[in-house]
């Protein structure tokens, strides 16, 4: 009996990466922008993500070789610098995702335990920091979920979310009806919110870095992607409709990160708040752990390609955990989750994944017509990212200038560091070639 993961486990990994922390972290942020049309924002973002998933699968299939974002860019553009910058952007997206999960972890833990009454404004940053430190320590000891544990964890989270969604739908239907936001002009708010929510649809592409642990990956991974993304969209739609129907816009703005738990109170009272809070803590915690493990291995792979400095990488221990890399990623994540705002962190991570997924879709579009490859999904993915990116930036600049400033300064700093590193790398290579000629 093979110990490699089959389709159910692969779907669980993909769903765990999306629903594991996404719905608990971004729902309040997205609902503040789109209101009762939050469900539509999730649909738009999900379509773009599904088209990006098609593009990833296509690029693997037409080349006959395996890989992820950095490999694809290197293979199809033959430009190491561009591939490296895509890799850095993707890695920073992972860090932003972990910071977002840690922020939500802190908010739900503080709310459930009443720590804000004791620690005041320090409560959330302190709990978030302790969470990051704890999962860094666990990863350095080699602790991570097995395929069976991941299946059980994802099943429990889905049961809680779908159970809440069903009960809330019944409750809402009998107490004034559910509000789908179909009246009046459509407006751009749902599309803007789709850009904000995009980070909630990034977990599926971690499958491409776990190929060695998946049985028949050429068949299993595409199927898992095409199952997991629609299931995530449907879950987000159900939870989004019920939450924005049960809470007013003012309440959503007031409760922010814990809006989902507050929406459960009218349905199940304090028990509902408690169940959702526990599910959120477990989900965001497992999302930090899984993303940290995968991101560390991704970073180590980048050092093998001379895309990251050698000092960042180290040899994995017996459990396959690159300890130095885990520690460095944890430090950056901790700083971001302590000093950043949830709106800023979410926008930063969504920006990174929109850039990378849009680039992959654009590359896949150039392969249209080969081996029955359709150009429609890659075109939709590329154009979708091209539309969502400026709308996300405009929304932040117009409505949340401080958040926009945080995003711009952070991205500029990363960009400068990237250029400096690759410039030094090119100079070092040129010097080495000149030395060899002497």
What are the Cα distances from residue 370, in Å, to 56, 364, 367, 376?
15, 10, 6, 13
Q: How far apart are the first and last CA of the chain?
A: 58
pLDDT at 184: 63
In this model, does residue 51 exceed pLDDT 90? yes
> What's the mean per-residue pLDDT of the chain?
82
Instruction: Identify the pLDDT of residue 437.
Output: 55
Where is average pLDDT lowest: 93-97, 243-247, 387-391, 424-428? Answer: 424-428
Percentage of the chain modeled with pLDDT above 70: 86
pLDDT at 1: 43
Contact between 42 and 19 (Cβ < 8 Å): no
In terms of pLDDT, which residue wins out, 34 or 400? 34
Reported as a single tens digit per residue, the pLDDT across 132-175 is 998 888 877 765 555 566 677 778 888 888 888 898 889 888 88
User: Where does 64-188 have alpha helices with state H?
Assistant: 69-77, 80-113, 116-119, 123-140, 147-174
Contact of 235 with 162, CB cutoff 8 Å:
yes
CA distance 435 to 162: 64
The torsion of the CA quartet 15, 19, 21, 27, rounded to 10 degrees, works out to 160
Per-residue pLDDT band for 308 (boundaries 50, 70, 90) equals low
């Amino acid at each position: 009996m093979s110990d490699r993961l089959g389709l159910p486990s692969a779907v669980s990994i993909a769903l765990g990466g999306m629903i594991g922390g996404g719905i608990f972290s971004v729902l309040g942020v997205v609902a503040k922008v789109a209101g009762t049309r939050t469900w539509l924002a999730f649909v738009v973002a999900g379509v773009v993500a599904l088209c990006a998933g098609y593009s990833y699968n296509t690029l693997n299939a037409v080349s006959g070789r395996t890989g992820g974002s950095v490999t694809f860019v290197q293979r199809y553009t033959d430009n190491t610098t561009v591939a490296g910058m895509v890799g850095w952007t993707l890695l920073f997206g992972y860090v932003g995702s972990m910071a977002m999960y840690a922020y939500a972890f802190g908010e739900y833990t503080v709310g459930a335990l009443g720590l804000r009454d004791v620690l005041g404004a320090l409560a959330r940053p302190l709990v978030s920091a302790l969470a990051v430190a704890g999962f860094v320590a666990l990863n350095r000891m080699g602790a991570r979920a097995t395929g069976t544990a991941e299946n059980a964890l994802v099943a429990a989270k889905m049961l809680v979310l779908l159970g809440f969604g069903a009960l809330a739908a019944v409750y809402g239907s009998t107490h004034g009806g559910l509000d789908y936001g179909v009246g009046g002009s459509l407006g751009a708010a749902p599309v803007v919110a789709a850009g904000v929510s995009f980070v909630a649809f990034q977990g599926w592409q971690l499958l491409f870095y776990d190929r060695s642990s998946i049985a028949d990956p050429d068949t299993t991974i595409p199927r898992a992607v095409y199952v997991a993304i629609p299931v995530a969209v449907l879950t987000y739609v159900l939870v989004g409709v019920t939450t924005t129907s049960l809470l007013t816009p003012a309440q959503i703005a007031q409760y922010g990160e814990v809006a989902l738990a507050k929406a459960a109170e009218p349905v199940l009272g304090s028990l509902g708040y408690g169940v959702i809070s526990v599910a959120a803590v477990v989900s965001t915690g497992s999302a930090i752990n899984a993303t940290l493990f995968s991101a560390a291995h991704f970073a180590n792979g980048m050092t093998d390609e001379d895309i990251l400095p050698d000092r960042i990488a180290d040899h994995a221990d017996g459990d396959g955990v690159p300890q130095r890399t885990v520690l460095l990623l944890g430090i950056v994540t901790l700083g971001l989750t302590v000093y950043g705002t949830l709106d800023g962190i979410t926008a930063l991570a969504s920006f990174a994944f929109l850039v990378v997924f849009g680039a992959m879709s654009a590359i896949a579009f150039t392969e249209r017509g080969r081996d029955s490859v359709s150009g429609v999904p890659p075109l939709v993915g590329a154009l979708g990212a091209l539309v969502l990116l400026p709308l996300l930036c405009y929304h932040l600049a117009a409505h949340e200038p401080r958040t926009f400033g945080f995003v711009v300064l952070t991205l500029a700093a990363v960009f400068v560091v990237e250029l400096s590193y690759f410039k030094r790398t090119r100079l070092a290579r040129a010097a080495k070639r000149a030395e060899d000629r002497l």
